[in-house]
Amino acid sequence: MAGLCLAAAALLVATVLSKYKKSPEQVGSQAVCLALGLWAAVCLISLSLFWGLALFSLSCLLMYTYLSEQEWLPVDQKAVLVTGSDCGLGHAICKHLDKMGFTVFAGVLNEQGSGAEELRRSCSSRLSVLQMDVTKPEQVKEAHSKVVEKVQDKGLWAVINNAGIFGFPADGELIPMNEYKQCMAVNFFGAVEVTKTFLPLLRRSKGRLVNISSMGEITGTSDMWEMHEKKILEHLPREVLADYGEDYILTLKHFLAHLLDTASPDFSPLILDVQHALCAKHPAAFYSPGKRAFLWLCMASIFPTGLNDYLWKTNATKARHMPRALSLPNRNKAM
């Protein structure tokens, strides 16, 4: 019986190792397999033979499932379109995918700009820069024609909707309507326009659609902060300005300065998730790269809204960062 159990354990280990050989880059090092062997010894020595084997078998099943998710497909010069490639994350994604061997179409807002020139200079001949303002359907269609001309019957393996614009972190009442419209035009309708235009090519290749949104990567510059701040102060009705107070509005940009101080300039966690979404045989439906990003998402989705509001209000009160009307004692009691 003991020999039979050990043979079964050896078979399970061999199965996991065979899966590991297909995906060594994603798992990391052989330490994973070593840990599995040590765990097998612990299970079989510290528990009864039956329960030890049962626990070890469950561990092998979980490890096999994990390794299956890490198994990669070959690149084979698959074609990928990336929007918003002038700078930042989109720019870095294009360079990384080009090094991996993908045929990259880098959609940019300005094909004569410094970002586009940098891509042409530093990347291989497989990369093509395309003029593509996602808010202009004619540019999206023209880019589609150029992609079709190059990929022909192969189709397009992936579309990465990365283009996005900076939004000033102000209260909803303070933001001008044209800011809302511009944000929706780029961050939502632009992504829809690109997706609808290129979906037939994705369908032909049975490829991937990757949508990227940001919890704070897009912070803008101090000049942009000043411009948005000026727009808010110029367009606010007197009554609203009196309720919020100019001092409160002038402190809103401090949140962006805090983001710059705490955010990491390292794009690698995001790029590796994009890489997994494109190359994994079984990609995840959702990724949350970055420190504490998943924690904030859990808090927003699981905690009661009232509790989230209380935490934000408490934090704002401690920082003395409250609209003038809410900071007045008699107004707080009424509300």
Q: Do 249 and 170 contact (CB within 8 A), yes or no?
A: yes
| pLDDT value at 21 more than 60 | no
Mean pLDDT of 5-30: 54
Q: Please write the tens of the pLDDT for every residue from 139-188.
A: 999 999 999 999 988 889 999 999 998 778 888 899 889 989 999 999 99
| pLDDT: which is higher, 14 or 284 | 284
| pLDDT value at 330 more than 90 | no
The one catalytic residue in 244, 248, 287, 310 is: 244
Q: What is the DSSP string of 185-233?
A: IIIIIHHHHHHHHHHHHHHHHT-EEEE---SSS----HHHHHHHHHHHH
Proportion of the chain in helix, strand, coil states, percent, rounded to 5: 65, 5, 30
Annotation says 244 is catalytic: yes
**Of 27-41, 90-104, 209-223, which range is least confident?**
27-41
Q: Do 17 and 33 contact (CB within 8 A), yes or no?
A: yes
Angle at 165 between CA 163 and CA 170, to 5 degrees: 150
pTM of the entire structure?
Answer: 0.76
| pLDDT value at 25 more than 70 | no
| pLDDT: which is higher, 24 or 129 | 129
* Alpha-carbon gap, residue 221 to 165, rounded angstroms: 12
* Alpha-carbon gap, residue 72 to 63, rounded angstroms: 16
